[in-house]
Amino acid sequence: MEEISLRELIEVLLKRKWLIVSITLAALLASGIVSIFILSPVYEAREVLNICEWGKDDIPETPQFEMPDRNLAILLKQLTTIPIYDIETCRQQILSYPFLKELISSIEQLGDATPAELRESVTIEQIPNTNLMSIAVRHEDPVLAASIANKISELFIRHNNLSNQEQFEKSASFLLNQMEEKQQQLNAVMEKYRDFLQQPRSPAPPGARGSASSMESQGLLLQSSEGDELKEELNFKIAALTGYKTALTNLKIRLAAARTEKESLEKQLAETPPLLVTQKSLIDDPLLLQVAVGSGGEDDFKELAGIQFLSEEANPVYLELEAGLKNKNVEIDALSKEIEETALAVSSLESELAELRAEYLEKWKEQERLEKEISNLESTLKTLEDSYLELQMVSALDPEEASFTVVAPAFPPEKPVQPRKMLNMAVAGVLGLMIGVFLAFFLHYWETSK
């Protein structure tokens, strides 16, 4: 394999030095002529906009209420929030075909330019580490370039302002419709609640639950002050049941005591003889004594007076015990009958109380359902009203000025940005030098290889 030394390479370059210099100078001359006399100068006008990225801390605060409908809460948050812009979104809007078409029609000097041609001359970029957006327009006419840049920002801000206003109007219309719908639903539920409270024996609305102001405005709390009939009836029956149970307990105690006394009387009666047997003389019996005196003389009387006989008499203690036992049996029968009647009354009251409690629970659940529905509708309506107020406050901020601010308008540039004469000549010189060196080595190879 043939080797070429560095000396040989240098000798080849020195041998063809005039060729290399000539080609390089020709490239420089051609580049200069084209850059100075042929290429038209291109001017760049630049405008800078400030993009305010709104956050949640920038929006006026309003009282927050719990929303029963989570989807509606999310929708309200979206409706009352200023759109957040970024540089890429703005760039895509500006470079879109409809926007460029409108831009061409608004500037007479553009003539028959197409959106594709105009897109090539517009450059949109973000200034690093800032919220500033730079809009650069290149054109052969410096005044027209500045006009295009200023017109872009003007149309862009106007479009976004119209879009925001349209969104606010739609949001306001939606909120008004929702407020009207919820108000109608609230009125209907209030009417149901009023009819429910006017029913016989309906529970009174507790002051601690629900919206007292709304109920007062509907006249519901005034009706409840007349008394809770069902609850009063429950309390009355509970008190009556308590009295009957107390009376039943006392009757049972009295019955037990009467039975104990009866057993005691029966025991005493069994131990007491019904008759008392006594030994008497004729003198001890007034009736017999009278008969004896009337039937005989004094001797006969003396003889009869000594006669002894046995006498049986009813035992007064026995009779007293027997009468007490009968009375005690009557008392026991009366107490038993009274206990039976009282037990029946207790059973009847317990049955009535069970029915009343079931009715009260059913009405109470219905009342709680209506009150919860009223509370939810009031909360939703309040949130809708606050969202509408918040939307009015946000729309009053003028999103056109709040979201976009012209930091530096475009002015007609004094110096062109193209062509870059020195850069073009430098590039042409390097290319000419490379072509000259390549041609020198090619000629050397051609001469030495034949």
Q: Assign residue 259 the CATH number of its domain.
A: 1.10.287.370
Q: What is the DSSP letter of 284?
A: G
Instruction: Return the amino acid letter for 238.
Output: I
Long-range contacts of 221-230 (CB under 8 A, 24+ apart): 223/194, 223/197, 223/198, 224/197, 228/203, 228/204, 229/200, 229/201, 229/202, 230/201, 230/202, 230/203, 230/356, 230/359, 230/360, 230/363
Partnered with residue 310 across adjacent β-strands are: 279
pTM of the model: 0.50
| 108-126 tens-digit pLDDT | 888 788 888 888 889 988 8
Task: Specify if 188 maps to a domain.
Answer: no
Q: How many domains does the chain have?
A: 2
* Tokens found for residue 64: 């927050």
Task: Specify if 76 maps to a domain.
Answer: no
Task: Specify if 66 maps to a domain.
Answer: no
**Which residue, of 357, 380, 412, is where some domain finishes?**
357
Determine phi and psi for 178, rounding to 5 degrees.
-65, -40
343 & 443 share domain: no
Q: Whole domain around residue 260: which residue ranges?
A: 229-357
**Which residue, of 357, 385, 401, is where some domain finishes?**
357
Highest mean pLDDT among 67-76, 106-115, 259-268, 293-302: 259-268
Mean pLDDT on 379-387: 84
pLDDT, position 201 = 63
DSSP states of 357-399: HHHHHHHHHHHHHHHHHHHHHHHHHHHHHHHHHHHHHHHHT-H
247 & 339 share domain: yes
**Which residue, of 357, 372, 401, is where some domain finishes?**
357
| 35-55 tens-digit pLDDT | 777 777 888 899 998 876 544
| Residues 111 and 16 sit within 8 Å (Cβ to Cβ) | no
CA distance 244 to 231: 20
pLDDT higher than threshold 80 for residue 129 = yes
pLDDT higher than threshold 80 for residue 214 = no
Task: Specify if 24 maps to a domain.
Answer: yes
